[in-house]
Structure 1
Amino acid sequence: MSSTRLLAATAPQQQEFEKANALFRQKQYTEAAGIYQRLVDEGFDQPELLINTGNAWYKANRTGLAVYSYEKALLADPFSKAAQHNLAIANQRVEGYVNELPQLFFQQWWTAIKYMHHPNGWATGAIIFCWLTVLGSILLLLRPTLQPTVVKSVTGVFGLLFAFYLFMGITTYVSATTHDNGIIMGNVVKVKSAPDQGSKDLFELHEGVKVQITDGTSEFCKIELPDGKTGWMSCGDIKKL
């Protein structure tokens, strides 16, 4: 359990966080989880807070919410060893858990590059390199005798970095705002062959299973599992990441 300070928290919010830590140490896990979750719902998304939330839900035997919290922590910090470890332990409780396929080496490289910055960080870098590119271009126009070869080379590098940061900013923003995964929250959920309650039952899913949402209606979501199984289920039984 982490006792770190909450970033940008008011004094009452920090006190609530410390109260939740104390409740956790006193083994009042449901009460601690409720306070942690309230802070998360207020917009605090520090990996440490999300891991604490997952730990409390896990101890309170709310496996679905524990898995959800650890998955959210990994969205905030994909390389968090604590979140990865705790998620693996929580998934051992999930009946019918299906392992995700491991990433290939180039996918691991892409993930490492993509999460070097949050979307705002990539956007800030793009703005900086954009202005540096503009400044270099202005220098070439106003001071053509100022070592033009060097200025052109440096300006070209700034231009490439601007394009790269802009591309990564757009990519990470789309990735962060596309909620196509979710965690099953119902104890036992029947997956249907069509978006209709009267359609044929295909299989059952249990609390804590992670699914990919590929399509949907106002009431039903089409889901896919890592092993390729697909079907329809009530969207109300899925907590989207």
Structure 2
Amino acid sequence: MKFRIFIFLFTMAALATAQNVSDENAFAKANTSYTDGNYQEAINSYETILQSGKQSAELFFNLGNAHYKLNQVGPAVYNYERALQLNPSDKEIKNNLKFAQQMRVDDVQPLAENPVKKFLKEMATWLSIDMWAYVSIMMALVCVLTFLLYHYATTTGKKRLFLLLSMGFLIAMILSVVAATYSRNLMEEDTQAIVYSTETVTRAEPKPDADPSFAIHEGTKVTILEEYQEWAHVELANGSKSWMPLADLKKL
């Protein structure tokens, strides 16, 4: 029985290793295609990796770069946004996203935001949800360690120091959990999407013969307020609201 378990574990480990090597080879091949200027070939390779279930900020970033080279505004903005979701603090992703946004036809000026709410939002999205979770775990471990040092400290000065440190790390852990929760709530409350069609004339109602509202173009980011059949009620950053076909959008 022990031998069978060993064989099973060994086989699973070998398969996992082989899969990782295969993914790395596919990613390297896609990067080579990009470096050689074969951008569509690189896009196809990156998309194949995504279809296998593998996701990373670097993968979405490279995919965005390939689309950008082909002047494909919608896919470029979309993939940069996805990369930013996984690595919110990456300056290179932010810079490339700005370049892609400059290619858009629509120049949507955002409404003024409450300074306090804006600050909290920026702090919560400073790290990804997973990173906030890792930070909270680290803070919890250090909190326990410093509390143990406080418990076994032999002098009053050391006890006071370790107690203060333990309380500080406890507060940091709580703030990390709050930030992760707030960041997740923001993502769940606001379903955002990128316009993929070259141009779409939005409608006052969710039907093709309704009165037109305004035209919206590829690469513009919208918030989906609600969905009805094949239509989405969207809001732009400037507060404008209208209906447009869901098929013209790709959700983040």
Mapping of residues 93-132 of structure 1, within 5 Å: 93-100=103-110, 110=120, 113-115=123-125, 117-127=127-137
Task: Please state how far the C-alpha of 1:226 moved relative to its aligned partner.
Answer: 1.9
1:179–1:240 CA contact under 8 A, matched in 2: no
Once the two structures are TM-superposed, the CA of residue 123 in structure 1 deviates from its matched residue by: 3.2
**Superposed displacement of residue 136, structure 1:** 8.9
Is residue 42 of structure 2 the alignment partner of residue 32 of structure 1?
Answer: yes
SS of aligned partner of 1:208: coil
Instruction: Provide TM-score, normalisation by structure 2.
Output: 0.74
Distance 1:21 1:211, change over 3 A: same
Question: Measured at CA, do residues 93 and 113 of structure 1 come closer, stay the same or move farther in structure 2, by a change above 3 Å?
Answer: closer
> TM-score, normalising length from structure 1?
0.77
The corresponding residue for 1:211 is 222
Q: Which residue of 2 aligns with 1:66?
A: 76
How many residue pairs were aligned? 233
In structure 2, distance between residues paired with 1:81 and 1:135:
34
Q: d(CA) in 1 for partners of 2:247 and 2:35?
A: 33
Q: CA deviation at 1:204?
A: 1.2
Residues 137-177 of structure 1: per-residue CA shift (max 9 Å, x gap): 9999x99x996877765554454334322212211233345
Distance in 1, matches of 2:162 and 2:80, equals 48
Equivalence for 1:233: 244
Q: What is the CA-CA distance between 1:200 and the residue it aligns to?
A: 0.9
Question: 1:27–1:161: structure 2 CA closer, same or farther, 3 Å change rule?
Answer: closer
Contact 1:183–1:208 (8 Å) recurs in 2: yes
Within 5 Å, which residues of 2 pair with 1:158-177? 158-177=169-188
Given residue 179 of structure 2, which amino acid in structure 1 is its aligned partner? M
Query: CA-atom RMSD, angstroms?
Result: 3.5
Which residue identity lines up with residue 232 of structure 2 in the other structure?
C
Pick closer, same or farther for the CA change 1:190–1:11 going to 2, 3 Å. Answer: same
Partner of 1:81: 91
1:53 aligns with 2:63: yes
